[in-house]
Every structure is written in C-alpha cells, then in structure tokens.
Amino acid sequence: MDNKKNPKDDLVDAEEIEDTLLQSFGFESWEEIMASSELEEGPHFDCVGGKEAFFLYPKTASAYLWISENFGIPIFEIVAAGNYVLPVVEEDVVITLKAILEDGLSFSKTLH
C-alpha cells in the first residue's frame, strides 16, 4: 500500500481550520475582522511584565491576527493554544508596543 500523503489534503485541512476560526470569531473573512478592529472594545492586548520578562496576551480577534501577521505564527496555532501568551524579549518591548499603537490597536499597561 502507498502511504504517501496528498499535498492537497494539507490545503483542505488548512481551509477547514481557517473556516472554523472565522466562525469562532463571528466573521466570514479576515478582511472583515480587520475592518471591524475599530469597533472592538479595547484594549486589544493585556501587557504584563517587568525588568526581564514581558508578555502580550491577545484579547480580541484583531490582536490574534496582528500577532500572526507580525510574528509569522499561523493563526490557528495561536487560537488553538487557548489563552495564548506571546513572550517579548526586553530589547523588543518598546518597538512592539509602538507597532501595536501604530497599527491602531491598544493595550493595557500592567508593568511591574
């Protein structure tokens, strides 16, 4: 028997995962999510950290999508993780928070 996996199977799986994620967010397309980011109640992220450890907790669909686009993490991995946490190294905290604001999102300030 031939146990080779058909590459089209991965595409079908990815499309099914994408459809499931969109339904869980209550949208029909990723563009619709981005267009609605102005309507989402903020903050989009909770930011927790101190001197050597800093973490972003996405709270909205736009935040999940932002992490996926800016850090190259597949959206389904972020959502599948449940309460996703993105660690940010100390050197990148300022640039990350600045990028969040420049992209029209917001964050809570819970720094210690």
pLDDT tens across 25-67, in order? 677 776 676 666 555 677 889 988 876 778 999 988 888 889 9
Report the candidate in 38, 30, 84 with the shortest Cα–Cα distance to residue 59.
84
Round to whole Å and give the CA distance between 107 and 45: 5
Q: How confident is the model at residue 91 (pLDDT cuts 50, 70, 90)?
A: confident
Amino acid (1-letter code) at residue 101: L
Share of the chain above pLDDT 90, in %: 12
Q: Are strands 45-49 and 86-88 parallel, antiparallel or unpaired?
A: unpaired
Strands (E), 25-79: 45-49, 54-58
Question: pTM for this one?
Answer: 0.65
Report the candidate in 106, 96, 110 with the shortest Cα–Cα distance to residue 37.
106
Q: First CA to last CA across the chain, in angstroms?
A: 59
